[in-house]
Structures are given as structure tokens and as C-alpha cells.
Amino acid sequence: MDPYNSGALAVQDRVGVRDRAAHAARSIRDGVPTIAAAFLGQQPMLVIGAADGAGRVWSSLLTGEPGFVRATGPHTISVAAALPEGTAAGTPVGTIALDPRTRRRMRLNGIARPSRRGFVVEADQVFSNCPKYLQKRDLYAPDLTTPAGAERRGGALTPDQERFVRAADTFFVATVAPDGADASHRGGNPGFVRVDSPTELSWPDYPGNAMFLTLGNLEGDDRAGLLFLDWSTGTTLRLTGVAHTQYGPDGRRTRFRIAQAVETPSASPLRWSAPVYSPANPPLTQDPLTQDPS
């Protein structure tokens, strides 16, 4: 069975990487290898992407003591956390475990179902990615005394949230398709995400593993959810909306239109160091924090 849906295949053909993608497909499994199970058991955070009951797609952060995510069988992981609000049992989800300490990441897609610990994911796609565009960070002691603040909801970015996005070197993106959901990582030097208006963002699509799972999903379903994280304070900014990709002679650019923004101060107890940027990050052509969004 081909691990790629029709959207991913269409993008691979358009970009001319079908052979590379076929080679990369050999790394996609329907179960959890031993090395992947060991990696998951060491992680203090997991990003999950899914659609809520209203059809909006969100990317959300879950955290816990290492071991809160663990493999419980050859095709199942268990997560000691609640599903994000609005995510129903039986919903397709995409997850990504990203470890800035080692610059490693693993993606696992499947179906979420409730359990006594929280929920389980019955996996149908499991694979690792290269460390490209992944910033290295050290993990400090968690802040267990500062509770999460009240959510701030809106239909557009505030000026402070615009600065938050412009300063980001990492974010996560969730997408969906008839065959499931996917959660992925995007990274670059601060400023690689551009704020074109309070309701519109865009970013370059840097060369990667040639799978084009995210862009492939967007070919058939433009719903998407973004997650930005302040690594030093644990504040999260979650955005839901729609996205599309523009193709041009200078490369690809994804454009995202915000339908709703949710900022949660101190949502995560994890505290991380300043980054050591990936040597793969392409240089920016202008000052990222004073860029002209026009």
C-alpha cells in the first residue's frame, strides 16, 4: 500500500521528487520499532494535531514526566494526558515527539481512543525525520509553581503576538486528509515566519525529506493548525485557519489565514535554554524583527 495520499503524490510530481519520495517511504512503518519506543519514553512533551468537533484543525502541546508517552504494543502508544479539548474518540491524529536536546524527532499518525491513563493512539504511520532546521536547546528544571494563565482568544493577532511570531525559530503545523491527520515541524532563523497582516502569516517551504505530507494534505483540504511556543516561559500560541502553497521560480511559500488565535501564558511547565541554531537554516535577506510585512 502506498504511504502517500493523492495530494502528496501530486506535489511530489510537481516538484520532481517522486523517486526521492519513494526511497524515503521505506522509513515509514505501521508499527513502533524498539528504538522509537525507547525515544518516546524519554520525552517530556508531545505535539498532537487533530480536528475538533466544529471541524477546526488545531496543533496542541502535551507535557509530562518522561514516560507519560510510552509504547504499549507494536502498534499502540499510550499518553498520560487528556486529549485536546474538542477532540473526540476515534478522531485521526498526527503526533510529533521532538527533542531539542538531541535534535531528533519522530512522527506517529493514527487513531486516538480514550484510556484509563488518558488516551491511546493506534498507529498506522511511524517514522523519524532528519535534524534539518531543528534548533538545539537544553532542558532546565520544570516550573511547577506557576499555573497556566487564562486563555486569550481572538480572531487576529495582537501586536505582542505578532512580535511573538516574528521572533519564532520553530513552530508546529497540523493538517488533515481523508486518510488521516499529520503533525509536522517547521524551523529556521528568527523571522522565517512572516506576519503579512494581523490575520495572515507566510513562511518559505525549505527543502526536506521529499515526502510533502503537509503540503500534500493541503492540496485537498486547506484546514490547518499552528502552534508557537515560547521556550523560556512555556507560553503557547495556537492558531487555526486555512492555508495554501504558492509555487514560484524562487521556491515554495505557504500562506496561512487565521480564523482564531488562542494564547495561553505558562501553558507548559517546561523551560528551555536559548537555542543553538541549526546549521541548515537558510540565511534571511532582511532583519527579521523589523521586516516590512507588505
Contact residues for 81 (Cβ-Cβ < 8 A; gap 6+): 46, 62, 63, 64, 68, 118, 119
CB atoms within 10 A of CB 16: 9
Is residue 137 packed enough to be buried (19+ CB in 10 Å), middle (13-18) or exposed (0-12)? buried
State residue 249's pLDDT score: 86
Return the C-alpha cell found at 219.
Answer: 492540496
Q: At what angle do helices 6-15 and 213-220 cross, to 10 degrees?
A: 110
Beta bridge partners of 112: 121
Q: What is the CB-side half-sphere exposure of residue 245 using CA atoms within 13 A? A: 24
Contacts of 179 by beta carbon, 8 Å cutoff, 6+ apart? 5
pLDDT at site 130: 83
Fold of 6-131+151-264: Pnp Oxidase; Chain A (2.30.110)
Per-residue pLDDT of the chain (294 residues; tens, 9 = 90+): 688 999 999 999 999 999 999 999 999 999 999 999 999 999 999 999 999 999 999 999 999 999 999 999 999 999 999 999 999 999 999 999 999 999 999 999 999 999 999 999 999 999 998 899 999 999 999 999 999 999 999 999 999 999 999 999 999 999 999 999 999 999 999 999 999 999 999 999 999 899 999 999 999 999 999 999 999 999 999 999 999 999 998 889 999 999 999 999 999 999 999 999 999 999 997 543 333 333
The grid cell for 141 is 528544571
The predicted pLDDT at position 250 comes to 84
pLDDT at residue number 1: 65
CB atoms within 10 A of CB 142: 15
Query: What is the rounded distance in angstroms from the CA atom of residue 130 to the CA atom of residue 34?
Result: 18
* Pair 233, 273: CB distance under 8 Å: no
